[in-house]
Amino acid sequence: MNIWKNIRRFLSHQRYIPILIGLLTVPLAGSLVIFLIDPQSFERYQDALWWAFVTITTVGYGDIVPGSGTPRLVAVIIMFGGITIVSMLTATISSAFVARKIREGKGLEKIKSSDHIVICGWNENAVDLIESIISLFKEHGHVSLVMINDIPEEDVNNIIYQYKNVDIQYVRGDYTKEYVLERANIKDARSVIIIPNETDEQGDPDEKTVLATLSIKSVSAKIPVIAFIHHSENKAHLKRANADEVIVRDEYNGFILASSVLMPGIPQAYFQLLNHKENPSMYRKKIPGSLTGKTFREVWEHFRQTEKALLIGVVREQKNVSFSDFLSADSSQLDAFIERKLKMAGHSLGDKNRIRLQLNPDDDYIISEDDLAVLIR
């Protein structure tokens, strides 16, 4: 299917049409002329046509040779005509591939990958983010990354070269614009991660993150969006924009500082578990179907024996309709009143895809088929 698509794309370029016409005209016309003027050497037209194609492609088997005089003059014309046409075709195709590679290097070509992870924005944490994704995907097979940002082309090339064993592609432009997101083939992406862009010097970078989330969801509401923000007060805006996960910078600094004083060793354990370069590491894994209906204790023993991993909890993804779906798009006083009353009643305005995590449940907790294991190894 891809071969025919490439052929149709090739034929759609009008600059190739004269070359293709010449490539067919030279052997057809030349074979007809040589057949008419040299019937002794070419008893059948099929032989003349075969000789013409062999000649213009410079193969020259020598199985059929035209006679002296005019036939050889015609042969010389066919040779030069064939060389010229083939050279033009080769040069045109080569220039098209080179132009496409240049456009890809500049981030101007449309991405054709699917099930890829899109990273919007760039800052000092972006390289660590890429390394963490690569590390987490080591046991999950192939990972494809697409970066959308405006950093210098030299920096982009250095990053792609640094991780040359990973499928990393680049799109240049403003990730809040739909046409830029479409170049990144956002509708076929696995997920999108938005990080504050260090090149943004005006305004609150969280505002651009909210706008980017709205743009992504307008292209496809099904794409999971994970947004990183600077200020916790903007979390509500991202929830209203239907962001699936919101990470606030330095959200747990208070706990880390306090535990450093009161419970030394806890911060070190925290950093070690979250550091992809250290062992043990925390990860999530599907529980084998044979363990469905078993107790948490039995599943704990299974992972301890088979993987030397410690099961610390189970997580479940539930697709629900949240109360926020019933609120209007603007933040009117009526919506604020409804939201406040729902919170007072103990209801949550959670995401559509809600993550339910149970850490250290009771030993007799029954594992369901939707439960995923949270492990430390």
Q: What integer pLDDT is reported at residue 148 of this predicted model? A: 92
Q: What integer pLDDT is reported at residue 321 of this predicted model? A: 47
Residues in the chain: 377
2-105 and 117-248: identical CATH topology: no
Backbone φ and ψ for 149, nearest 5 degrees, come out as -165, -175
Per-residue model confidence as pLDDT tens digits over 142-177: 789 999 988 888 888 888 888 888 888 999 889 999
DSSP conformation letters of 80-117:
HHHHHHHHHHHHHHHHHHHHHHHHHHTT-SPP---SPE
Q: Do the Cβ atoms of 144 and 167 come closer than 8 Å?
A: yes
Q: What integer pLDDT is reported at residue 214 of this predicted model? A: 92
Fold held by 2-105: Helix Hairpins (1.10.287)
Strands of 144-149's sheet in order across? 167-172, 144-149, 117-120, 191-194, 225-229, 245-248
Q: Which residue has the tokens 């033009």?
A: 88
Q: What integer pLDDT is reported at residue 216 of this predicted model? A: 93
* pLDDT-flagged residues of the chain (< 50): 1, 320-321, 323, 329, 331, 348, 350-352
Q: What integer pLDDT is reported at residue 332 of this predicted model? A: 57
Q: In angstroms, how far apart are the furthest CA atoms of the chain?
A: 105
Domain boundaries, the chain: 2-105, 117-248, 287-376
Residue 299 tokens read as: 């599943």
Q: Which CATH superfamily is domain 117-248 in?
A: NAD(P)-binding Rossmann-like Domain (3.40.50.720)
Per-residue model confidence as pLDDT tens digits over 338-348: 656 555 555 54
This prediction's pTM: 0.64
Residue 335 tokens read as: 């919506």
